[in-house]
Structure 1
Amino acid sequence: MDPVVFRGVLGELVLAADPTTEADPVGVLVSLMANVSAVIGTGPHVQIGDTRHPLIVWPLLFGRTGAGRKGDATDTADRLTRAAMPEVEHLFVSGLSSGEGLIERIRDPRDENDPGGTEDKRLRILEAEFGSVMARAKREGNTVGAVLREGWSGKALAVMNRLALRASSSHVIIIGHVTPREFRLRLAATEMAGGTFNRFLPVYVERSKRLPLPEGIAPGLLAELGARLRAAVERAARHGEVGLDQEARRLWEDELYDELGCADDEEGAWTEFARRALPYCRRVAALYAVLDDRSYVNEGDLKARRK
Protein backbone atom coordinates (compact mmCIF):
# COMPACT_ATOMS: atom_id res chain seq x y z
CA MET A 1 0.00 0.00 0.00
CA ASP A 2 1.26 3.46 -0.94
CA PRO A 3 2.41 5.30 2.23
CA VAL A 4 0.44 8.36 1.07
CA VAL A 5 -2.76 6.83 2.46
CA PHE A 6 -1.36 6.99 6.00
CA ARG A 7 -2.03 10.68 6.13
CA GLY A 8 -2.67 13.06 8.99
CA VAL A 9 -3.61 12.03 12.49
CA LEU A 10 -5.22 8.75 11.39
CA GLY A 11 -2.11 7.66 9.54
CA GLU A 12 0.13 8.66 12.43
CA LEU A 13 -1.93 6.61 14.89
CA VAL A 14 -2.04 3.55 12.65
CA LEU A 15 1.71 3.59 12.02
CA ALA A 16 2.44 4.09 15.73
CA ALA A 17 0.30 1.06 16.61
CA ASP A 18 1.50 -1.12 13.73
CA PRO A 19 4.59 -2.71 15.38
CA THR A 20 2.39 -4.11 18.16
CA THR A 21 -0.16 -6.05 16.09
CA GLU A 22 -0.37 -8.55 13.25
CA ALA A 23 -3.32 -6.64 11.79
CA ASP A 24 -3.06 -5.18 8.31
CA PRO A 25 -2.46 -1.43 8.79
CA VAL A 26 -4.91 -0.68 5.97
CA GLY A 27 -7.60 -2.58 7.85
CA VAL A 28 -6.82 -0.61 11.00
CA LEU A 29 -6.93 2.63 9.00
CA VAL A 30 -10.33 2.09 7.40
CA SER A 31 -11.80 0.80 10.67
CA LEU A 32 -10.53 3.93 12.41
CA MET A 33 -12.00 6.07 9.63
CA ALA A 34 -15.36 4.41 10.23
CA ASN A 35 -15.18 4.99 13.98
CA VAL A 36 -14.25 8.62 13.57
CA SER A 37 -16.96 9.19 10.97
CA ALA A 38 -19.47 7.83 13.48
CA VAL A 39 -18.34 10.08 16.31
CA ILE A 40 -18.08 13.38 14.41
CA GLY A 41 -21.73 13.17 13.47
CA THR A 42 -23.80 14.89 10.83
CA GLY A 43 -22.19 18.33 10.69
CA PRO A 44 -19.21 17.78 8.36
CA HIS A 45 -20.38 16.93 4.84
CA VAL A 46 -19.74 17.39 1.15
CA GLN A 47 -22.29 18.79 -1.26
CA ILE A 48 -22.41 17.12 -4.68
CA GLY A 49 -25.01 18.86 -6.78
CA ASP A 50 -28.22 18.82 -4.78
CA THR A 51 -27.13 15.84 -2.70
CA ARG A 52 -25.72 16.25 0.79
CA HIS A 53 -23.17 13.54 1.61
CA PRO A 54 -22.37 13.06 5.30
CA LEU A 55 -18.88 11.72 5.89
CA ILE A 56 -20.17 8.19 6.32
CA VAL A 57 -17.64 5.42 5.58
CA TRP A 58 -18.64 1.75 5.51
CA PRO A 59 -15.54 -0.47 5.16
CA LEU A 60 -16.03 -4.10 4.20
CA LEU A 61 -12.91 -6.04 5.16
CA PHE A 62 -12.20 -9.07 2.98
CA GLY A 63 -9.76 -11.61 4.36
CA ARG A 64 -9.20 -15.31 4.82
CA THR A 65 -10.44 -16.87 8.03
CA GLY A 66 -7.81 -16.36 10.72
CA ALA A 67 -5.03 -15.30 8.37
CA GLY A 68 -6.84 -12.13 7.36
CA ARG A 69 -6.73 -10.71 10.89
CA LYS A 70 -9.94 -8.78 10.17
CA GLY A 71 -10.95 -8.80 13.80
CA ASP A 72 -7.51 -7.66 14.93
CA ALA A 73 -7.69 -4.67 12.61
CA THR A 74 -11.01 -3.44 13.96
CA ASP A 75 -10.04 -4.27 17.55
CA THR A 76 -6.97 -2.04 17.27
CA ALA A 77 -9.06 0.79 15.84
CA ASP A 78 -11.66 0.34 18.58
CA ARG A 79 -9.03 0.42 21.32
CA LEU A 80 -7.65 3.69 19.96
CA THR A 81 -11.14 5.17 19.71
CA ARG A 82 -12.14 4.17 23.23
CA ALA A 83 -8.90 5.55 24.63
CA ALA A 84 -9.67 8.85 22.94
CA MET A 85 -13.38 9.08 23.74
CA PRO A 86 -14.60 6.58 26.34
CA GLU A 87 -17.90 8.45 26.57
CA VAL A 88 -18.97 7.22 23.11
CA GLU A 89 -18.80 3.55 24.09
CA HIS A 90 -22.60 3.30 23.87
CA LEU A 91 -22.48 4.11 20.14
CA PHE A 92 -20.51 0.94 19.38
CA VAL A 93 -22.66 -2.16 18.95
CA SER A 94 -22.38 -5.51 17.19
CA GLY A 95 -24.79 -7.41 14.98
CA LEU A 96 -27.07 -6.31 12.16
CA SER A 97 -30.14 -8.53 12.28
CA SER A 98 -32.78 -6.59 10.39
CA GLY A 99 -33.83 -3.16 9.22
CA GLU A 100 -36.25 -2.93 12.12
CA GLY A 101 -33.52 -3.78 14.61
CA LEU A 102 -31.30 -1.04 13.24
CA ILE A 103 -34.05 1.58 13.37
CA GLU A 104 -35.00 0.54 16.91
CA ARG A 105 -31.52 1.57 18.05
CA ILE A 106 -31.95 5.17 16.85
CA ARG A 107 -35.71 5.58 16.59
CA ASP A 108 -37.47 8.78 17.56
CA PRO A 109 -39.29 8.84 20.91
CA ARG A 110 -43.00 8.25 20.28
CA ASP A 111 -43.97 10.86 22.85
CA GLU A 112 -42.54 12.62 25.88
CA ASN A 113 -43.35 9.63 28.09
CA ASP A 114 -41.58 7.12 25.84
CA PRO A 115 -38.57 5.68 27.71
CA GLY A 116 -37.10 4.43 24.44
CA GLY A 117 -35.93 6.39 21.46
CA THR A 118 -33.08 8.87 21.22
CA GLU A 119 -32.24 12.25 19.76
CA ASP A 120 -28.67 11.07 19.07
CA LYS A 121 -28.78 9.28 15.72
CA ARG A 122 -25.12 8.21 15.71
CA LEU A 123 -24.40 4.49 15.69
CA ARG A 124 -21.50 2.25 14.70
CA ILE A 125 -22.32 -1.37 13.99
CA LEU A 126 -19.71 -4.11 13.66
CA GLU A 127 -20.92 -7.11 11.69
CA ALA A 128 -18.17 -9.71 12.00
CA GLU A 129 -20.24 -12.26 10.06
CA PHE A 130 -21.29 -10.13 7.13
CA GLY A 131 -22.22 -13.20 5.11
CA SER A 132 -25.17 -13.70 7.46
CA VAL A 133 -26.41 -10.20 6.65
CA MET A 134 -26.21 -11.05 2.96
CA ALA A 135 -28.22 -14.21 3.58
CA ARG A 136 -30.92 -12.37 5.53
CA ALA A 137 -31.16 -9.68 2.87
CA LYS A 138 -32.29 -12.35 0.39
CA ARG A 139 -35.28 -13.40 2.47
CA GLU A 140 -38.65 -12.17 1.40
CA GLY A 141 -39.90 -9.42 3.66
CA ASN A 142 -36.53 -8.65 5.22
CA THR A 143 -35.97 -4.90 5.25
CA VAL A 144 -32.24 -4.77 5.91
CA GLY A 145 -31.27 -4.00 2.29
CA ALA A 146 -33.71 -1.12 1.91
CA VAL A 147 -32.74 0.38 5.26
CA LEU A 148 -29.03 0.15 4.45
CA ARG A 149 -29.52 1.98 1.16
CA GLU A 150 -31.18 4.88 2.96
CA GLY A 151 -28.75 4.80 5.87
CA TRP A 152 -25.69 5.27 3.66
CA SER A 153 -27.10 8.65 2.67
CA GLY A 154 -27.92 9.68 6.24
CA LYS A 155 -31.63 9.86 5.47
CA ALA A 156 -34.68 9.22 7.61
CA LEU A 157 -35.29 5.52 8.20
CA ALA A 158 -38.69 3.89 8.52
CA VAL A 159 -40.50 0.60 8.06
CA MET A 160 -44.23 0.26 7.69
CA ASN A 161 -45.19 -2.41 10.18
CA ARG A 162 -47.39 -2.56 13.24
CA LEU A 163 -44.79 -0.69 15.29
CA ALA A 164 -44.34 2.06 12.67
CA LEU A 165 -40.67 2.47 13.59
CA ARG A 166 -39.09 5.71 12.40
CA ALA A 167 -35.83 7.59 12.80
CA SER A 168 -36.22 11.13 11.47
CA SER A 169 -32.52 11.20 10.60
CA SER A 170 -29.64 8.75 10.79
CA HIS A 171 -25.87 8.64 11.06
CA VAL A 172 -25.16 4.93 10.98
CA ILE A 173 -21.72 3.48 10.32
CA ILE A 174 -21.20 -0.19 9.50
CA ILE A 175 -17.98 -2.22 9.48
CA GLY A 176 -18.31 -5.62 7.85
CA HIS A 177 -15.99 -8.64 7.90
CA VAL A 178 -16.28 -11.40 5.31
CA THR A 179 -14.14 -13.98 3.54
CA PRO A 180 -13.81 -13.63 -0.24
CA ARG A 181 -15.24 -17.12 -0.73
CA GLU A 182 -18.35 -16.49 1.34
CA PHE A 183 -18.96 -13.18 -0.36
CA ARG A 184 -18.84 -14.83 -3.78
CA LEU A 185 -21.18 -17.61 -2.68
CA ARG A 186 -23.70 -15.27 -1.09
CA LEU A 187 -23.80 -12.58 -3.71
CA ALA A 188 -26.11 -12.65 -6.69
CA ALA A 189 -25.49 -10.28 -9.57
CA THR A 190 -28.96 -8.84 -9.14
CA GLU A 191 -28.18 -7.87 -5.54
CA MET A 192 -25.01 -6.08 -6.56
CA ALA A 193 -26.83 -4.12 -9.22
CA GLY A 194 -29.52 -3.27 -6.67
CA GLY A 195 -27.03 -1.05 -4.90
CA THR A 196 -27.01 -2.39 -1.34
CA PHE A 197 -23.53 -3.85 -1.20
CA ASN A 198 -21.81 -1.35 -3.46
CA ARG A 199 -22.34 1.18 -0.70
CA PHE A 200 -19.50 -0.55 1.15
CA LEU A 201 -15.83 0.29 0.67
CA PRO A 202 -14.10 -3.04 -0.12
CA VAL A 203 -10.65 -3.56 1.42
CA TYR A 204 -8.62 -6.76 1.25
CA VAL A 205 -6.60 -7.42 4.41
CA GLU A 206 -4.09 -10.02 5.48
CA ARG A 207 -1.68 -10.59 8.35
CA SER A 208 1.03 -7.93 8.09
CA LYS A 209 3.72 -9.70 10.09
CA ARG A 210 4.29 -12.66 12.40
CA LEU A 211 4.23 -11.82 16.09
CA PRO A 212 4.09 -14.97 18.25
CA LEU A 213 3.32 -12.82 21.31
CA PRO A 214 1.81 -9.53 20.14
CA GLU A 215 1.87 -7.04 22.99
CA GLY A 216 -0.70 -4.54 21.79
CA ILE A 217 -0.33 -0.82 22.28
CA ALA A 218 1.49 0.06 25.50
CA PRO A 219 -0.67 2.02 27.99
CA GLY A 220 1.49 5.13 27.89
CA LEU A 221 1.49 5.27 24.10
CA LEU A 222 -2.23 4.51 24.02
CA ALA A 223 -2.97 7.49 26.26
CA GLU A 224 -0.83 9.76 24.08
CA LEU A 225 -2.43 8.58 20.85
CA GLY A 226 -5.90 8.80 22.35
CA ALA A 227 -5.37 12.41 23.38
CA ARG A 228 -4.25 13.33 19.86
CA LEU A 229 -7.24 11.61 18.29
CA ARG A 230 -9.68 13.25 20.69
CA ALA A 231 -8.39 16.73 19.91
CA ALA A 232 -8.62 16.08 16.17
CA VAL A 233 -12.17 14.70 16.39
CA GLU A 234 -13.39 17.62 18.50
CA ARG A 235 -12.07 20.06 15.91
CA ALA A 236 -13.46 18.02 13.02
CA ALA A 237 -16.97 17.91 14.46
CA ARG A 238 -17.23 21.71 14.34
CA HIS A 239 -16.94 21.84 10.55
CA GLY A 240 -19.85 22.02 8.12
CA GLU A 241 -19.63 21.80 4.34
CA VAL A 242 -16.21 20.74 3.07
CA GLY A 243 -15.21 22.02 -0.37
CA LEU A 244 -12.24 21.65 -2.71
CA ASP A 245 -9.37 24.12 -2.84
CA GLN A 246 -8.13 25.35 -6.21
CA GLU A 247 -5.51 22.63 -6.76
CA ALA A 248 -7.89 19.88 -5.63
CA ARG A 249 -10.62 21.18 -7.93
CA ARG A 250 -8.21 21.09 -10.86
CA LEU A 251 -7.13 17.51 -10.08
CA TRP A 252 -10.76 16.46 -9.75
CA GLU A 253 -11.86 18.02 -13.02
CA ASP A 254 -8.82 17.04 -15.09
CA GLU A 255 -8.20 13.49 -13.85
CA LEU A 256 -10.19 11.96 -11.03
CA TYR A 257 -13.72 12.56 -12.24
CA ASP A 258 -13.18 10.56 -15.44
CA GLU A 259 -10.88 8.00 -13.80
CA LEU A 260 -13.23 7.15 -10.94
CA GLY A 261 -16.40 7.50 -12.96
CA CYS A 262 -15.41 5.04 -15.68
CA ALA A 263 -17.30 2.19 -13.96
CA ASP A 264 -20.56 3.94 -14.84
CA ASP A 265 -19.90 3.10 -18.49
CA GLU A 266 -18.93 -0.55 -17.99
CA GLU A 267 -20.82 -3.76 -17.37
CA GLY A 268 -19.88 -6.66 -15.15
CA ALA A 269 -20.28 -7.67 -11.51
CA TRP A 270 -16.85 -6.41 -10.48
CA THR A 271 -17.60 -2.88 -11.68
CA GLU A 272 -20.59 -2.60 -9.36
CA PHE A 273 -18.30 -2.05 -6.36
CA ALA A 274 -16.83 0.95 -8.17
CA ARG A 275 -20.16 2.63 -8.87
CA ARG A 276 -19.80 4.82 -5.79
CA ALA A 277 -16.11 5.59 -6.17
CA LEU A 278 -16.80 9.27 -6.88
CA PRO A 279 -18.78 10.09 -3.72
CA TYR A 280 -16.54 7.84 -1.63
CA CYS A 281 -13.47 9.72 -2.83
CA ARG A 282 -15.05 13.01 -1.80
CA ARG A 283 -16.20 11.68 1.57
CA VAL A 284 -12.87 10.15 2.58
CA ALA A 285 -10.86 13.14 1.35
CA ALA A 286 -13.13 15.43 3.36
CA LEU A 287 -12.59 13.26 6.43
CA TYR A 288 -8.83 13.71 6.08
CA ALA A 289 -9.40 17.47 5.75
CA VAL A 290 -11.61 18.04 8.79
CA LEU A 291 -9.36 15.92 11.00
CA ASP A 292 -6.63 18.34 9.98
CA ASP A 293 -9.02 21.18 10.94
CA ARG A 294 -9.58 22.33 7.36
CA SER A 295 -12.84 23.10 5.56
CA TYR A 296 -11.28 22.52 2.15
CA VAL A 297 -9.90 19.32 0.66
CA ASN A 298 -6.43 19.73 -0.81
CA GLU A 299 -4.63 17.80 -3.52
CA GLY A 300 -2.94 15.52 -0.98
CA ASP A 301 -6.28 14.46 0.50
CA LEU A 302 -7.56 13.42 -2.93
CA LYS A 303 -4.37 11.58 -3.80
CA ALA A 304 -4.54 9.63 -0.53
CA ARG A 305 -8.09 8.47 -1.28
CA ARG A 306 -7.16 7.70 -4.87
CA LYS A 307 -4.68 5.06 -3.66
Structure 2
Amino acid sequence: MRAITMQEFGGPEVLKLEEVPDPKPRRTEVLLDVTRAGVNYADIHVRGNTYLAPVELPYIPGNEVVGTDPDGRRVVALTRGGGYAEKVAVRRGLHWEIPDGISDQQAVPLALQGNSAWHLLFTVGRLTEGEKVVIPAAAGGVGSLAVQLAAQVGATVIALASTEAKRQLALDLGASAVVDSSTEEGLAERIKEAAGGPVHAALEMTGGSTLHQTVAALAPRGRLAVYGFASGELTDISVHTLLQNSITMAGFWLPHLYAAERGTLLARSIKGLFAAVINGSLKVIEGGTYPLADAADAHRSLASRSVTGKISLDTKK
Protein backbone atom coordinates (compact mmCIF):
# COMPACT_ATOMS: atom_id res chain seq x y z
CA MET A 1 0.00 0.00 0.00
CA ARG A 2 0.98 3.67 -0.28
CA ALA A 3 1.70 5.49 2.97
CA ILE A 4 3.41 8.59 4.29
CA THR A 5 6.38 7.51 6.36
CA MET A 6 8.88 9.25 8.63
CA GLN A 7 12.40 7.87 8.76
CA GLU A 8 13.57 10.76 10.93
CA PHE A 9 12.17 13.66 12.92
CA GLY A 10 12.20 17.16 11.51
CA GLY A 11 10.32 19.54 9.25
CA PRO A 12 7.58 18.74 6.73
CA GLU A 13 10.20 17.43 4.32
CA VAL A 14 10.59 14.24 6.41
CA LEU A 15 7.11 13.12 5.29
CA LYS A 16 7.74 10.78 2.33
CA LEU A 17 5.31 8.79 0.17
CA GLU A 18 6.43 5.16 0.04
CA GLU A 19 5.18 1.65 -0.74
CA VAL A 20 4.98 -0.34 2.51
CA PRO A 21 3.46 -3.70 3.51
CA ASP A 22 -0.23 -3.76 4.39
CA PRO A 23 -0.84 -3.77 8.17
CA LYS A 24 -1.81 -7.09 9.73
CA PRO A 25 -4.70 -6.59 12.18
CA ARG A 26 -4.60 -8.30 15.53
CA ARG A 27 -7.51 -10.29 16.91
CA THR A 28 -8.95 -7.14 18.52
CA GLU A 29 -8.54 -5.03 15.38
CA VAL A 30 -10.16 -4.59 11.99
CA LEU A 31 -8.52 -3.52 8.73
CA LEU A 32 -9.96 -0.40 7.08
CA ASP A 33 -9.59 0.86 3.53
CA VAL A 34 -8.88 4.54 4.18
CA THR A 35 -10.53 7.26 2.08
CA ARG A 36 -9.68 10.32 4.22
CA ALA A 37 -6.97 10.88 6.83
CA GLY A 38 -7.33 13.79 9.22
CA VAL A 39 -4.39 16.16 9.74
CA ASN A 40 -4.04 17.48 13.28
CA TYR A 41 -1.63 19.66 15.22
CA ALA A 42 -0.65 16.56 17.17
CA ASP A 43 0.84 15.24 13.91
CA ILE A 44 3.17 18.25 13.84
CA HIS A 45 4.29 17.39 17.38
CA VAL A 46 4.88 13.79 16.26
CA ARG A 47 6.95 14.97 13.31
CA GLY A 48 9.04 17.22 15.56
CA ASN A 49 9.45 14.59 18.31
CA THR A 50 7.56 16.70 20.86
CA TYR A 51 4.48 14.46 21.10
CA LEU A 52 3.15 13.34 24.48
CA ALA A 53 3.87 9.67 23.73
CA PRO A 54 7.20 8.32 22.44
CA VAL A 55 7.33 7.58 18.71
CA GLU A 56 9.53 4.89 17.24
CA LEU A 57 10.88 5.34 13.71
CA PRO A 58 10.06 4.52 10.99
CA TYR A 59 6.57 5.81 11.63
CA ILE A 60 3.35 6.46 9.72
CA PRO A 61 1.56 9.51 11.23
CA GLY A 62 -2.18 10.04 11.45
CA ASN A 63 -4.63 9.47 14.31
CA GLU A 64 -8.07 9.74 12.69
CA VAL A 65 -9.45 8.31 9.47
CA VAL A 66 -12.58 7.73 7.45
CA GLY A 67 -12.78 4.50 5.48
CA THR A 68 -14.66 1.27 4.85
CA ASP A 69 -14.56 -1.87 6.98
CA PRO A 70 -14.51 -5.45 5.62
CA ASP A 71 -18.32 -5.41 5.47
CA GLY A 72 -18.29 -2.34 3.25
CA ARG A 73 -19.63 0.03 5.91
CA ARG A 74 -18.36 3.62 6.00
CA VAL A 75 -16.73 4.28 9.35
CA VAL A 76 -14.80 6.98 11.16
CA ALA A 77 -12.03 5.78 13.44
CA LEU A 78 -9.35 6.73 15.93
CA THR A 79 -5.89 5.26 15.49
CA ARG A 80 -2.59 5.35 17.34
CA GLY A 81 -0.62 6.36 14.26
CA GLY A 82 -0.83 4.76 10.83
CA GLY A 83 -3.59 6.98 9.45
CA TYR A 84 -1.69 8.56 6.54
CA ALA A 85 -2.05 5.41 4.46
CA GLU A 86 -4.36 3.50 2.15
CA LYS A 87 -5.05 0.91 4.86
CA VAL A 88 -4.92 0.95 8.65
CA ALA A 89 -5.70 -1.49 11.46
CA VAL A 90 -7.95 -0.01 14.16
CA ARG A 91 -9.32 -1.28 17.45
CA ARG A 92 -12.86 -2.62 17.19
CA GLY A 93 -14.16 -0.26 19.87
CA LEU A 94 -12.65 2.84 18.26
CA HIS A 95 -14.51 2.95 14.95
CA TRP A 96 -18.11 3.93 14.36
CA GLU A 97 -20.41 3.55 11.37
CA ILE A 98 -21.13 6.87 9.68
CA PRO A 99 -24.87 7.53 9.29
CA ASP A 100 -26.38 8.30 5.92
CA GLY A 101 -26.48 12.04 5.33
CA ILE A 102 -22.95 12.66 6.60
CA SER A 103 -20.20 12.89 3.99
CA ASP A 104 -16.67 11.58 4.43
CA GLN A 105 -15.41 15.15 4.63
CA GLN A 106 -17.93 16.00 7.37
CA ALA A 107 -17.08 12.85 9.30
CA VAL A 108 -13.28 13.04 9.26
CA PRO A 109 -12.84 15.55 12.15
CA LEU A 110 -15.49 14.04 14.41
CA ALA A 111 -13.48 11.14 15.84
CA LEU A 112 -10.52 13.12 17.16
CA GLN A 113 -11.36 16.82 17.06
CA GLY A 114 -15.09 16.43 17.62
CA ASN A 115 -14.66 14.06 20.55
CA SER A 116 -11.93 16.31 21.96
CA ALA A 117 -14.15 19.40 21.78
CA TRP A 118 -17.04 17.51 23.40
CA HIS A 119 -15.05 16.13 26.33
CA LEU A 120 -13.03 19.29 26.90
CA LEU A 121 -16.27 21.21 27.34
CA PHE A 122 -18.48 18.72 29.13
CA THR A 123 -16.33 16.02 30.76
CA VAL A 124 -13.37 18.13 31.86
CA GLY A 125 -14.82 21.66 31.80
CA ARG A 126 -18.27 20.63 33.14
CA LEU A 127 -19.79 23.48 31.16
CA THR A 128 -23.46 24.25 31.77
CA GLU A 129 -26.11 26.64 30.53
CA GLY A 130 -25.54 30.28 31.44
CA GLU A 131 -21.80 29.99 32.04
CA LYS A 132 -19.09 31.97 30.25
CA VAL A 133 -16.37 30.00 28.46
CA VAL A 134 -13.20 30.98 26.56
CA ILE A 135 -12.40 28.98 23.43
CA PRO A 136 -9.00 29.52 21.73
CA ALA A 137 -8.20 29.00 18.04
CA ALA A 138 -11.93 29.39 17.50
CA ALA A 139 -11.72 29.01 13.72
CA GLY A 140 -9.61 25.85 13.85
CA GLY A 141 -10.63 22.20 13.88
CA VAL A 142 -11.32 21.74 17.60
CA GLY A 143 -12.19 25.38 18.22
CA SER A 144 -14.84 25.74 15.51
CA LEU A 145 -16.64 22.65 16.80
CA ALA A 146 -16.27 23.70 20.45
CA VAL A 147 -17.76 27.15 19.76
CA GLN A 148 -20.89 25.56 18.33
CA LEU A 149 -21.25 22.87 21.00
CA ALA A 150 -20.86 25.40 23.82
CA ALA A 151 -23.33 27.85 22.29
CA GLN A 152 -25.89 25.07 21.81
CA VAL A 153 -26.02 24.34 25.54
CA GLY A 154 -26.65 28.00 26.29
CA ALA A 155 -23.15 29.07 27.30
CA THR A 156 -21.74 32.52 26.53
CA VAL A 157 -18.78 31.87 24.24
CA ILE A 158 -15.77 34.20 24.20
CA ALA A 159 -13.84 33.16 21.11
CA LEU A 160 -10.14 33.86 20.57
CA ALA A 161 -8.82 34.19 17.02
CA SER A 162 -5.91 35.95 15.35
CA THR A 163 -7.53 37.57 12.30
CA GLU A 164 -10.69 39.51 11.57
CA ALA A 165 -11.91 36.81 9.18
CA LYS A 166 -11.45 34.10 11.80
CA ARG A 167 -13.20 36.18 14.44
CA GLN A 168 -16.13 36.75 12.09
CA LEU A 169 -16.35 33.00 11.47
CA ALA A 170 -16.49 32.40 15.24
CA LEU A 171 -19.35 34.88 15.52
CA ASP A 172 -21.15 33.19 12.65
CA LEU A 173 -20.79 29.85 14.47
CA GLY A 174 -22.42 31.17 17.64
CA ALA A 175 -19.80 32.99 19.69
CA SER A 176 -21.19 35.84 21.79
CA ALA A 177 -17.97 37.88 21.62
CA VAL A 178 -14.54 37.64 20.04
CA VAL A 179 -11.07 38.70 21.16
CA ASP A 180 -7.95 39.27 19.06
CA SER A 181 -5.39 36.66 20.11
CA SER A 182 -2.64 37.85 17.75
CA THR A 183 -1.08 39.72 20.67
CA GLU A 184 -0.78 38.48 24.24
CA GLU A 185 -0.56 41.94 25.79
CA GLY A 186 -3.55 42.58 28.05
CA LEU A 187 -5.29 39.39 26.89
CA ALA A 188 -6.81 38.61 30.30
CA GLU A 189 -8.35 42.08 30.60
CA ARG A 190 -9.63 41.98 27.03
CA ILE A 191 -11.27 38.61 27.68
CA LYS A 192 -12.97 39.92 30.83
CA GLU A 193 -14.10 43.06 29.03
CA ALA A 194 -15.64 41.00 26.22
CA ALA A 195 -17.30 38.65 28.71
CA GLY A 196 -18.56 41.35 31.04
CA GLY A 197 -16.44 39.97 33.86
CA PRO A 198 -14.36 36.89 34.71
CA VAL A 199 -15.28 33.62 33.01
CA HIS A 200 -16.36 30.31 34.52
CA ALA A 201 -14.39 28.01 32.23
CA ALA A 202 -11.70 28.10 29.54
CA LEU A 203 -9.95 25.83 27.10
CA GLU A 204 -6.23 26.41 26.48
CA MET A 205 -3.84 25.00 23.87
CA THR A 206 -1.17 27.66 23.29
CA GLY A 207 1.00 27.55 26.41
CA GLY A 208 3.51 30.19 27.48
CA SER A 209 2.18 33.61 28.42
CA THR A 210 -1.23 32.83 26.91
CA LEU A 211 -1.77 30.14 29.53
CA HIS A 212 -1.09 32.63 32.34
CA GLN A 213 -3.34 35.24 30.72
CA THR A 214 -6.17 32.71 30.42
CA VAL A 215 -5.87 31.70 34.08
CA ALA A 216 -6.00 35.38 35.04
CA ALA A 217 -9.35 35.72 33.22
CA LEU A 218 -11.02 32.99 35.31
CA ALA A 219 -13.52 33.72 38.06
CA PRO A 220 -13.18 32.19 41.54
CA ARG A 221 -13.74 28.40 41.22
CA GLY A 222 -13.09 28.67 37.50
CA ARG A 223 -12.10 25.59 35.48
CA LEU A 224 -9.32 25.36 32.93
CA ALA A 225 -8.93 22.46 30.47
CA VAL A 226 -5.45 22.35 28.89
CA TYR A 227 -5.05 20.29 25.72
CA GLY A 228 -1.85 21.48 24.08
CA PHE A 229 1.08 23.88 23.85
CA ALA A 230 1.07 24.99 20.22
CA SER A 231 3.57 27.78 20.94
CA GLY A 232 6.11 25.16 21.99
CA GLU A 233 6.47 26.93 25.34
CA LEU A 234 5.88 24.79 28.40
CA THR A 235 5.17 26.86 31.48
CA ASP A 236 4.17 26.31 35.09
CA ILE A 237 1.23 27.70 37.04
CA SER A 238 2.04 28.18 40.72
CA VAL A 239 0.00 26.54 43.45
CA HIS A 240 -0.37 30.03 44.94
CA THR A 241 -2.11 31.21 41.75
CA LEU A 242 -4.51 28.24 41.83
CA LEU A 243 -5.31 28.71 45.52
CA GLN A 244 -5.97 32.44 45.22
CA ASN A 245 -9.14 31.83 43.20
CA SER A 246 -9.75 28.11 43.84
CA ILE A 247 -8.92 27.39 40.21
CA THR A 248 -9.31 23.84 38.90
CA MET A 249 -6.76 23.11 36.17
CA ALA A 250 -6.85 19.81 34.29
CA GLY A 251 -4.86 18.39 31.42
CA PHE A 252 -6.66 16.47 28.69
CA TRP A 253 -5.35 13.91 26.19
CA LEU A 254 -8.02 12.05 24.23
CA PRO A 255 -6.24 8.63 24.19
CA HIS A 256 -6.90 8.34 27.91
CA LEU A 257 -10.59 7.87 27.01
CA TYR A 258 -9.93 5.04 24.55
CA ALA A 259 -10.29 2.40 27.25
CA ALA A 260 -12.44 4.42 29.67
CA GLU A 261 -15.65 2.57 30.47
CA ARG A 262 -14.78 0.26 27.54
CA GLY A 263 -15.21 3.11 25.11
CA THR A 264 -18.73 4.06 26.16
CA LEU A 265 -17.74 7.69 26.81
CA LEU A 266 -16.59 8.04 23.21
CA ALA A 267 -19.54 6.06 21.87
CA ARG A 268 -21.93 8.50 23.54
CA SER A 269 -20.11 11.60 22.35
CA ILE A 270 -19.75 10.41 18.75
CA LYS A 271 -23.46 9.61 18.70
CA GLY A 272 -24.22 13.15 19.84
CA LEU A 273 -21.86 14.59 17.24
CA PHE A 274 -23.44 12.56 14.43
CA ALA A 275 -26.91 13.72 15.49
CA ALA A 276 -25.82 17.37 15.58
CA VAL A 277 -24.34 17.20 12.08
CA ILE A 278 -27.45 15.51 10.70
CA ASN A 279 -29.87 18.04 12.23
CA GLY A 280 -27.70 20.91 11.03
CA SER A 281 -26.79 22.32 14.45
CA LEU A 282 -23.10 21.38 14.02
CA LYS A 283 -21.28 22.59 10.93
CA VAL A 284 -17.95 21.12 9.90
CA ILE A 285 -15.65 23.80 8.48
CA GLU A 286 -13.54 22.35 5.68
CA GLY A 287 -9.96 23.62 5.59
CA GLY A 288 -8.94 21.85 2.39
CA THR A 289 -8.16 18.36 1.14
CA TYR A 290 -4.70 17.40 -0.14
CA PRO A 291 -3.59 14.33 -2.09
CA LEU A 292 -1.83 11.82 0.15
CA ALA A 293 1.48 12.58 -1.56
CA ASP A 294 1.17 16.24 -0.51
CA ALA A 295 1.10 15.58 3.24
CA ALA A 296 4.08 17.91 3.71
CA ASP A 297 2.13 20.77 2.14
CA ALA A 298 -0.82 20.01 4.43
CA HIS A 299 1.51 20.29 7.43
CA ARG A 300 2.90 23.58 6.18
CA SER A 301 -0.60 25.00 5.81
CA LEU A 302 -1.63 23.90 9.30
CA ALA A 303 1.55 25.27 10.89
CA SER A 304 1.10 28.63 9.16
CA ARG A 305 -2.13 29.25 11.13
CA SER A 306 -3.65 30.59 7.91
CA VAL A 307 -6.19 27.76 7.63
CA THR A 308 -9.68 27.66 9.08
CA GLY A 309 -11.41 24.37 9.79
CA LYS A 310 -10.31 20.84 9.02
CA ILE A 311 -7.46 19.74 6.76
CA SER A 312 -7.48 16.18 5.45
CA LEU A 313 -5.61 13.89 3.05
CA ASP A 314 -7.32 12.06 0.20
CA THR A 315 -5.67 8.63 0.12
CA LYS A 316 -7.05 7.85 -3.34
CA LYS A 317 -5.11 10.69 -4.99
TM-score scaled by length of structure 2: 0.29
Q: Which has the higher helix share?
A: 1
Query: Highest relative contact order (Cα 8 Å, sep 6+), 1 or 2?
Result: 1
